[in-house]
Chain A
Amino acid sequence: MKNKYMFGGFIIVIFLGLMGYLFTQSNIKYESDFTNVINNDKTVKATGSWVKEKNYVVDRESKTFSFYMADENGKQMKVVYDGVMPNNFETATSVVVTGTFENGHFHAKDILTKCPSKYEEQPVQSSSL
């Protein structure tokens, strides 16, 4: 009887430990202050808005899509995304990019656009590689 509980407890501890470890490994923080993004070499999810005054560039040769993003304080950074411009990009009210800041720009592996629709649950295209 006692053995059974010890065995069960042992399994649970291992499982929770493994989950905790992987959670911290795969954990990506949201960052809405670009100063922290720029001074950080970790992968983060940067949230902000697209700077419409500065144009985006679609580069077919290198298959990248680059644009400028600003945080709520107006701090800007250049974002280079490995892939094509996501659907809905131009009408997006906010943009979430996942990646790291390197070589003077934010290198995004994933981009998420949020639509301005008001009360709505609707799938918005996410392009991931």
Chain B
Amino acid sequence: MIGSIVLTAALVLSIIAMVMYYLTFRGYKNTLNYARLSYHGMAILVIVGSTLLWHALLTHQYQYKYVYSYSNGQLSTGLLFSSFWGGQEGSFMLWLLLTAIIGIFLQSYSSKRSDLEPRVMAVFTIATSFLLVMVSPWFKNPFEYIWAHPIFINIADISPQYLSMPFLENFFFSDQQGGQSFVRMSTELYSVLSAQGIAVNNFIMDGRGLNPQLLNWWMQVHPPVLFIGFAMATVPFSFALAAMMKNEYKDWIRQAFPWVLAGTGVLGLGIMMGGYWAYEMLGWGGYWAWDPVENSSLIPWLIGVASIHTLLVQRRSQQGGDSVGRYAKTNLILCILTYVFVLYSTFLTRSGVLGDASVHSFVDPGMLVYLFLLIFIGSFILLGFGALAYRWKDLNAKLPEDENLLSRELSLFTAAVVLGASALIVLVGTSAPIYGQSVDTFFYDEMHLPIAIIIGFLNGLSLLIKWKKTSTQELLKSSIFAASASVVLTILIVVLSGMSNIMMIILTLSSSFALIVNTEIAVKIVKNNMKMLGAYVAHIGIALFFLGVIGSAAYSEEVDLDLVKNKPAQAFGYEMTFTGYQPIENNTKYAFNIELKKGDKSYNAAPVMYIAEFNNSLMREPAILSFFTRDVYFTPNGYEEGSSTASGESSVVSLQRGASTEYANTKITFVDFDFPAEVRDAMMSGADFEIGVNLTVESEGKKQNTRVAMQNKSGERLLTAAELKDVNIKIQLSNLDATGNVDLALSSLDGAAIDQSKPKEEIYSVSASIKPFISLVWIGVVVMVLGFFVAVARRLKESLV
């Protein structure tokens, strides 16, 4: 309750701040202090609200639906902390929190730069107001009580002491298919509980928890970094609008520049962290799958990077005069678009329109939220482009004359155009699901290959071309070293790797060219002009990134291996031996050891498999051996347990769920476990229980179902058998283990010997792949982000002039 009040109060203050800032801009003298006070009050309330949510999560207050839905008692403190952004409500909250905090810095920054503050903050508070409406009690409020809308709670999560209480009877539901029972939590049950004096927080003793794939370190860092990038995209938008409010287009460029650089840098880092997470933990096999969710955050980044290039030109062309500079309109458009695409990304990922298209799953958030998201994005499009249309004539009147063809100005503009083209490609492909279409990933790959080639060459050339004008001769002279060095480097790479695809060779050449030009300049200026280094460092980063992508994406190789225990297999020049598995992390997961040998060096890799309680599914985690020149990547596929107890009469087979075996012309399939929640509870509490194993038996076209079971009666373990007279088979359950395997002893009923006894081997199936130079991908991104921040330091100083 208090949380909702805090957020509602913050919304009111945000709107007051917006109005007061606007009135200040209109010339009112005494409104600025109120505006500042309201903004800071709003920011403090948002911080208080977030703290309340964290507190509720850390102290397991399951009366809040959000806390119940995304956390549980088993989560470590770090993960509990990050369950804050585990769901939609919380991720809006995180976005709001970061935006509010960034606004504090922006207020202080803009208050030191002439009359900037009222204009910039008036626009900025529109964004905070919209976000506050989003988390308000009418939409995605993280402080909603669990009984506000009926929700089914697994009885395993209900405190056992209340389960037998008679008043609960009307609220029980059971799911026939899954064999689970639920309690329907609703306002009725809430009033019954209140009447009995039972606190909901005691009644519900555990939450659903987080998806197992989110349970790692990356969940704690990737979303916040990404959302800082999203929140910072609000700033260039505010600056562009502020410039149009005043109808003055000169100063905002240098004032907005450090913000654009920092925001784009952080967003880039956040995007790539997501890629690394997918690669290292989720086992997608790569770092980029052109998934709509990844794509939707890439679009604003590309537009942001494009704007950096044209902002630079405008800033440069302003020097020594009162001119507005070149590309004034382009810069306004790009800064508006960066934020609009951040909102579009939110719309795509939160509105449910992607539905079937993404590996991230999204469920419809409801019509109201859908409409609100549309209004949110629509308002900012209208605001941005409406203002632009209103000022269009004035802008045209202020623009200077055309530039020379061979100038750095033009090459930077071309860079922005190419980046814009890339953004358009991603936008078209990603938006296709809205019309019930989708594109294969080769659409993105094929379109980006020429774009990457152009970017590489432009990247190098633009730095060799001088501002204003360069003669062709000068250019040739200055590029001769870099051109020949990059040709030599490319030939070297091609010869060593045996590369034969012509497009890949050209891309290698263009990336090498960019790398060498930038390194050459960086080395020249590093001694006396450190602060100028930013652009070159960022460009070295992108060149390294391209080289890493060429290696890891185009020259990756994969094989599927069936590793028989203790029998070495050969792949990629390694001798690989599966040596068995052991439980890790308190017996919740299993690590499968693979020993690798190459010459006299030996390595160890241990991919992980486990059954996640959260969704009762088999989960797999990859293992990676990282070297500078390559990664060896293992994704587990499955494990088949062998058995040595096969005898002439009965044969023991080990089956994974869903697998079948043949015995005496009969096909026996292990369907699933019969292991409902009550049984699990009984097992936990030490009472008697029975875990069933459902089987189908198929012979001569006839199919029947049967069941064997493991029973636990007063501490003693019993394994039952099934006798099937018509097919003359006895199936005795001989073991069942936590990895989801069952061992069945099969024999004929009449004792007749059936020759089936083939001793089985323990087989571990993995997909192994080689990713050449994937390290360059990570190094490239880190170097690039570093470059952004070196540039921020320089431009921050300039912004005060």
Is the pair A115, B638 in contact by a Cβ cutoff of 8 Å? no
Q: Can you list 17 contacts pairing A with B, beta carbon distance less than 8 Å?
A: A19-B424, A22-B443, A27-B439, A29-B436, A29-B438, A58-B656, A60-B640, A85-B638, A91-B617, A115-B211, A115-B615, A119-B363, A120-B211, A121-B87, A121-B88, A122-B360, A126-B289
Bound form: Cα–Cα A116–B605 in Å: 33
| Residue in B closest to A1 when the chains form the complex, CB atoms | B402
Is the pair B562, A60 in contact by a Cβ cutoff of 8 Å? yes
7 closest A-B pairs by beta carbon, nearest first, are A26-B443, A26-B440, A126-B359, A122-B211, A84-B637, A91-B615, A26-B439
Bound form: Cα–Cα A94–B357 in Å: 12
Return the CB mask of B425-458 against A: 1 if under 8 Å, else 0: 1001100110011111111001100000000000
| Residue in A closest to B450 when the chains form the complex, CB atoms | A18
Most-contacted residue by chain A among B437, B617, B763 (CB, 10 A): B617
| Residue in B closest to A129 when the chains form the complex, CB atoms | B558
Residues of B within 8 A of A25 (CB): 443
Q: Per a CB cutoff under 8 Å, which of A29, A57, A85, A124 touches B359?
A: A124
- Decide if B91 is an interface residue (CB 8 Å cutoff): yes
| Residue in B closest to A56 when the chains form the complex, CB atoms | B658
- Decide if B365 is an interface residue (CB 8 Å cutoff): yes
- Decide if A79 is an interface residue (CB 8 Å cutoff): no
- Decide if B159 is an interface residue (CB 8 Å cutoff): no
Return the CB mask of B726-770 against A: 1 if under 8 Å, else 0: 000000000000000000000000000000000000010100000
- Decide if A114 is an interface residue (CB 8 Å cutoff): yes
A82 to chain B, nearest CB (A): 10
Is the pair B284, A126 in contact by a Cβ cutoff of 8 Å? yes
A98 to chain B, nearest CB (A): 8
Residues of B within 8 A of A96 (CB): 356
B-binding residues in A (CB < 8 A): 1, 4, 15, 18-19, 22-23, 25-30, 43, 45, 47, 52, 55-58, 60, 63, 83-85, 87-91, 94, 96, 112, 114-115, 117-126, 128
- Decide if B34 is an interface residue (CB 8 Å cutoff): no
Is the pair A45, B438 in contact by a Cβ cutoff of 8 Å? yes
17 new A-B contacts, CB < 8 A, other than A94-B356, A128-B289, are A4-B402, A19-B425, A26-B439, A45-B356, A45-B438, A58-B638, A60-B640, A60-B765, A85-B618, A88-B617, A119-B88, A121-B88, A121-B361, A122-B360, A125-B213, A125-B283, A125-B359
Count of residues in B whose CB is under 8 Å from the partner chain: 67
Number of A-B pairs whose CB atoms are under 8 Å?
Answer: 156
- Decide if B671 is an interface residue (CB 8 Å cutoff): yes
Instruction: Indicate whether A89 sits within 8 Å of B360 (C-beta atoms), given known contacts A18-B447, A28-B439, A119-B88.
Output: no
Residues of B within 8 A of A88 (CB): 615, 617
B418 to chain A, nearest CB (A): 10
B306 to chain A, nearest CB (A): 15
A-binding residues in B (CB < 8 A): 69-70, 86-89, 91, 151, 177, 210-211, 213-214, 278, 282-285, 289, 349-350, 356, 359-363, 365, 402, 421, 424-425, 428-429, 432-433, 436-443, 446-447, 560, 562, 615-620, 637-638, 640, 656, 658-660, 669, 671-672, 696, 763, 765
Bound form: Cα–Cα A114–B672 in Å: 20
| Residue in B closest to A94 when the chains form the complex, CB atoms | B356
Residues of B within 8 A of A119 (CB): 69, 87-89, 363, 365
Is the pair A55, B638 in contact by a Cβ cutoff of 8 Å? no
A103 to chain B, nearest CB (A): 21
Residues of B within 8 A of A15 (CB): 421
A109 to chain B, nearest CB (A): 10
Bound form: Cα–Cα A89–B360 in Å: 14
Bound form: Cα–Cα A85–B86 in Å: 26
Residues of A within 8 A of B214 (CB): 122-123
Residues of A within 8 A of B562 (CB): 60
Is the pair A22, B360 in contact by a Cβ cutoff of 8 Å? no
A99 to chain B, nearest CB (A): 12
| Residue in A closest to B214 when the chains form the complex, CB atoms | A122
B368 to chain A, nearest CB (A): 14
| Residue in B closest to A43 when the chains form the complex, CB atoms | B440
Most-contacted residue by chain B among A4, A19, A26, A121 (CB, 10 A): A121
Is the pair B365, A19 in contact by a Cβ cutoff of 8 Å? no
Residues of A within 8 A of B285 (CB): 128
Most-contacted residue by chain B among A30, A52, A56, A123 (CB, 10 A): A123
Residues of B within 8 A of A26 (CB): 439-443, 446
Bound form: Cα–Cα A23–B424 in Å: 12
Residues of A within 8 A of B446 (CB): 22, 26
Most-contacted residue by chain B among A29, A52, A90 (CB, 10 A): A90
Instruction: Indicate whether A57 sits within 8 Å of B560 (C-beta atoms), given known contacts A22-B443, A121-B87.
Output: no
| Residue in A closest to B763 when the chains form the complex, CB atoms | A60
Is the pair B177, A58 in contact by a Cβ cutoff of 8 Å? no
Q: Per a CB cutoff under 8 Å, which of A30, A57, A89 touches B356?
A: A30
Is the pair A121, B402 in contact by a Cβ cutoff of 8 Å? no
Residues of A within 8 A of B615 (CB): 88, 91, 115
| Residue in B closest to A120 when the chains form the complex, CB atoms | B87
Residues of B within 8 A of A22 (CB): 442-443, 446-447
Q: Per a CB cutoff under 8 Å, which of A63, A87, A122 touches B620?
A: A87
Is the pair B177, A23 in contact by a Cβ cutoff of 8 Å? no
Bound form: Cα–Cα A109–B618 in Å: 20
Most-contacted residue by chain B among A4, A88, A90, A112 (CB, 10 A): A88
Residues of B within 8 A of A118 (CB): 69, 151, 363
Residues of A within 8 A of B87 (CB): 119-121
| Residue in A closest to B277 when the chains form the complex, CB atoms | A123
Residues of B within 8 A of A55 (CB): 658, 669, 671, 696
Instruction: Indicate whether A117 sits within 8 Å of B211 (C-beta atoms), given known contacts A19-B428, A60-B763, A63-B560.
Output: yes
Residues of B within 8 A of A84 (CB): 637-638, 765
Instruction: Indicate whether A115 sits within 8 Å of B439 (C-beta atoms), given known contacts A55-B671, A58-B659, A123-B211.
Output: no
Residues of A within 8 A of B283 (CB): 125
Bound form: Cα–Cα A121–B360 in Å: 6
Bound form: Cα–Cα A107–B424 in Å: 32
| Residue in A closest to B670 when the chains form the complex, CB atoms | A55
Bound form: Cα–Cα A128–B278 in Å: 13
A123 to chain B, nearest CB (A): 5
Residues of A within 8 A of B350 (CB): 121
A13 to chain B, nearest CB (A): 13
Bound form: Cα–Cα A8–B298 in Å: 26
Residues of A within 8 A of B638 (CB): 58, 60, 84-85
Bound form: Cα–Cα A57–B429 in Å: 34
| Residue in A closest to B444 when the chains form the complex, CB atoms | A26
Instruction: Indicate whether A23 sits within 8 Å of B438 (C-beta atoms), given known contacts A117-B361, A121-B349.
Output: no
Bound form: Cα–Cα A23–B446 in Å: 10
Residues of A within 8 A of B660 (CB): 57
Bound form: Cα–Cα A27–B436 in Å: 10
Residues of B within 8 A of A28 (CB): 437-440
Bound form: Cα–Cα A28–B363 in Å: 22
Residues of B within 8 A of A126 (CB): 284, 289, 359
Bound form: Cα–Cα A25–B437 in Å: 12
Bound form: Cα–Cα A52–B443 in Å: 35
Residues of B within 8 A of A128 (CB): 284-285, 289
Is the pair B365, A87 in contact by a Cβ cutoff of 8 Å? no
Bound form: Cα–Cα A20–B39 in Å: 47
| Residue in A closest to B425 when the chains form the complex, CB atoms | A19
Bound form: Cα–Cα A23–B365 in Å: 30
Residues of A within 8 A of B447 (CB): 18-19, 22
